[in-house]
Amino acid sequence: MVKPKTKKEYKRSFTVIWHSLMTPKEKSSSENSGRYLSWTPASAAKKAGGRILKEYNDSHKTKKQQIEVVVRETTNTSNKKEMGYHVKRVKLDKPIKLDNYTIKYETKVKSSDKALKQMGTPKKI
């Protein structure tokens, strides 16, 4: 017989509802920036921020190294709380070489009320 998993063994689900690099067109659309499964909202913001910064830097001449991100918990039993974070990519002194690729950056995340204020009033669900 298989034991049921406890509540703490499940990852929670988060989505990015706003980030400081959004264009006005992206802000007005109802599309979000993906779904992130993670144990904490900070680690979900870290994953999302790293991906957003990488995609932005790959497609633009001017490079950004930090952004503000707001994530909303979308787990079925959650209260859909919104949390703001400051995400920063820091270039490593010595890149880490693995078999197929090289890690050149480390992503750091810090809780930020500034992100929630910049986003404006949260939308009611």
Q: Is residue 66 part of a domain?
A: yes
Q: How many residues does the chain have?
A: 125
Predicted structure pTM score: 0.77
Q: Is residue 36 part of a domain?
A: yes
In angstroms, the CA 58 to CA 53 distance is: 8
**Has residue 96 got a pLDDT over 90?**
yes
Predicted pLDDT at 18: 80
Q: Is residue 98 part of a domain?
A: yes
Q: Is residue 104 part of a domain?
A: yes
48: number of Cβ within 10 Å: 28
Q: Which domain holds residue 51?
A: 11-119
Domain count, the chain: 1
List the Cα angle 48/16/11 in 5-degree steps.
70
**Has residue 29 got a pLDDT over 80?**
no
Q: What is the percentage of the chain residues whose pLDDT exceeds 90?
A: 30
Task: Write the pLDDT tens digit of every residue in 38-94.
Answer: 999 999 999 999 888 888 888 888 888 888 888 999 998 888 889 999 999 999 999
Q: Is residue 45 part of a domain?
A: yes
Q: Is residue 115 part of a domain?
A: yes
Predicted pLDDT at 124: 43
Between the alpha carbon of residue 69 and those of residues 5, 17, 61, 66, 77, the distances in Å are 31, 8, 22, 10, 23
